[in-house]
Amino acid sequence: MADLSVNIAGVEFKNPVIPASGVFGYGREYEQLFPLSKLGGIATKGTTITKRNGNLPPRIAETPSGMLNSVGLQNPGIDKFLSYELPNLLKKDTVIIANIAGSTAGECVEIAQKLDKTDVHMIELNISCPNVKEGGLAFGATCEGAAGITAQVRKATKKPLIVKLSPNVTSITEIAKSVEAEGADAVSLINTLLGMRIDINTRRPILHNNMGGLSGPAVFPVAVRMVWQTANAVKIPVIGMGGISTGKDAIEMMMAGASAVQVGAAMFTNPYAAIDIINEINEFLDDNNISSVKEIIGSVKPW
């Protein structure tokens, strides 16, 4: 068996496969299917300062080669996460990445300060959420907004900080460089692309929130392109996601420059997707006499 371990910002992962935030909850349902220790890590459901019930349904819609969602960060809030979910997760012998989000920078700072006092391994800052104090513009939509919130959260915690980037921007590489400059230890990308579907019979959007995030195989080529561009623009590790469904997809993403991958929508169609991907990566490495998965990171040869 090949060496599947990777190191991101000083944190050792036994393999590079991580269920993405929002698809895995806090692992309680999935651990009825397989030991969570088999995973490289777990990115928890996005956690906010207080409990959120999420958006009104319908909030999930199937699309060709993917899905739209506008769940709205439904979660129990940081205090319930700290008292109930995190203690259980820390027993699972895998890297725990706490994904956090806030309507203001101050909320993100407060959450990070609370997490800093725990044994969570890493924090993933979602900067694709609307910034209420700035007219609803997402923090990650501009270099200034992305840099500003990264700087504030960086001061609030000593934990390794991953910043999750939105693809709904003019230049994702400039955004990545701006958060790197303010202390991000890694970046993860891509978050969902903004999309919309309409029911032609009712003439209403299928989602109650009108628009939602597009994920699944349809976004994979966009994700590979953005990961490749970003990996060539920053010195910090890149965690790739967006439409990864198979081991082949994961390998392609890592060849583009990702040090690890997150698996999202595929978990809904195949609950064992992450486990299958780990096994498929290992088979590829063995079949090609590659001793370590690190050898394929950034190994693409552009024309």
Catalytic residues: 129
Crossing angle of helices 220-231 and 172-181, in 10° steps, is: 50
CA distance 222 to 15: 24
Rg of the chain taking only CA atoms, in angstroms: 18
Distance of CA 125 to the CA centre of its chain: 9
List of E strands, 101-222: 122-126, 130-131, 137-138, 161-164, 186-189, 193-195, 198-199, 204-205, 212-215
Within 10 angstroms of residue 129's Cβ, the number of other Cβ atoms is 23
CA distance 21 to 134: 25
Distance of CA 49 to the CA centre of its chain: 19
CA distance 44 to 142: 25
CA distance 245 to 91: 27
Instruction: For residue 258, give both structure tokens.
Output: 């990702």
Please choose, from the candidates 166, 158, 167, the residue with its C-alpha nearest in 3D space to the C-alpha of residue 185.
158
Instruction: For residue 14, give both structure tokens.
Output: 């036994």
CA distance 275 to 173: 31
Give one DSSP letter per residue of 212-226, joined into a string. Answer: EEEESGGGHHHHHHH
Instruction: For residue 28, give both structure tokens.
Output: 């309680």
